[in-house]
Amino acid sequence: MSQIPFTAAMKLSDVLFENRNLLLLLPRFGIPVGFGEKTIGQICAEHGVSTELFLYVCNVYCYDGFSASSSTVAADELPAFLRYLRASHHYYIDERLPHIARHLNDLARKAGSPYGDSLRKFFDDYKKEVEDHFAFEEEHIFPTAVKDISRSKKVFIGAHDSIEEKLSDLTQIIFKYLPENISSEEIIELTFDIFQLAEDLDRHTVLEEAVFTEGRDEARSRKKVRSAAEFADEALTEREKEVLVLVAKGYMSKEIADMLNISMNTVNTHRKNINAKTGIKSIAGLTVYAMLHNLM
């Protein structure tokens, strides 16, 4: 792919050929397909879309090196940007998550109990968290931003890390820990759906944080690389299993240290090893792991 950011003079068809995922953005801007050989500038003008805003979003979605914070949304484009964000929220909640849920429920049914039940609960809880997070943004952050963007930067309290973390955990669980009676084709199909959603949400997060937070490094959205690859093939020790179960049951590190008669630093070391070995970070994900492995 060319590393030159998109410009208004480029044909939209060429841009979409560069990155097909941009097709998903067109309905969010109210742009229909069937644009022939027209340029981005021409199409945006026809549909009343800010060319600068459209290019900004497209470049953020396509280029990891494109700085979202150095070329942010202009004040007069903020209402249009908020409409785009709302349209994105609706797409995630009304289309992508239900689509993934249908695949996951079918897979969970074939996995049987307790695996399927654990998987359904994990995803249902995740979907509720996403819905609550988007509702908070639309009810509190967006109206504040319209009145005073600088004030919205102070009240923006995101749950993006948790949302991205749990989606990553779901792929780890599906990849590594489901029963062998589930076909590889079904797992691969579901995982591709999750990967597509994760990439879309990642870019969505970069856009929101560039506008609604101060001094936030967009590289945070690419921090998902596991830092302990050396643990990848190691099994959990018995002590780590004990700690995992207590974490899954909701105990804090200090409580676990007291219960197991070990230091809190030792507990935290065990927790880091558990995260690295399982590839799972969230407590909800570790709970599913514990149930799938009959640890609780």
Domain boundaries defined on the chain:
12-62, 75-222, 229-278
**Is 204 a residue whose pLDDT tops 80?**
yes
The span from the CA of 234 to the CA of 256, in Å, is 23
Highest mean pLDDT among 126-130, 231-235, 277-281 belongs to 126-130
**Is 24 a residue whose pLDDT tops 90?**
yes
Q: Is the dihedral of CA 36, 42, 45, 51 positive or negative?
A: positive
Q: Whole-number mean pLDDT of the chain?
A: 83
Predicted pLDDT at 164:
82
Which DSSP string corresponds to 65-128?
A: TS-TTTT---GGGHHHHHHHHHHHHHHIIIIIHHHHHHHHHHHHHHH-TTHHHHHHHHHHHHHH
Predicted pLDDT at 219:
42
Q: Tokens 């003079």 appear where?
A: 9
Predicted pLDDT at 54:
95
The span from the CA of 69 to the CA of 216, in Å, is 8
Q: Across residues 178-201, what is the average pLDDT? A: 88
Predicted pLDDT at 150:
60
Query: Among 120-134, 139-153, 178-192, which stretch is predicted with the lowest mean pLDDT?
Result: 139-153
User: Tokens standing for 180?
Assistant: 């062998």
**Is 148 a residue whose pLDDT tops 60?**
yes
How far lies 287's CA from each of 84, 115, 246, 248, 249, in Å?
Answer: 36, 11, 10, 5, 8
End-to-end CA distance of the chain: 48
* pLDDT tens profile 275-284: 888 888 888 8
Predicted pLDDT at 132:
92
**Is 285 a residue whose pLDDT tops 80?**
yes
**Is 2 a residue whose pLDDT tops 60?**
no
Predicted pLDDT at 143:
86
Instruction: Give the CATH architecture of domain 229-278.
Output: Orthogonal Bundle (1.10)
Predicted pLDDT at 235:
84
Return the DSSP state at 141: I
Q: Across residues 80-95, what is the average pLDDT? A: 96
Q: Across residues 29-55, what is the average pLDDT? A: 94
* pLDDT tens profile 186-195: 888 999 999 9
39 forms bridges with which residues in the sheet?
11
Q: Across residues 162-175, what is the average pLDDT? A: 85
For the entire predicted model, the pTM comes to 0.78
Predicted pLDDT at 293:
83
Q: What band does 222 get if pLDDT is binned at 50, 70 and 90?
A: very low
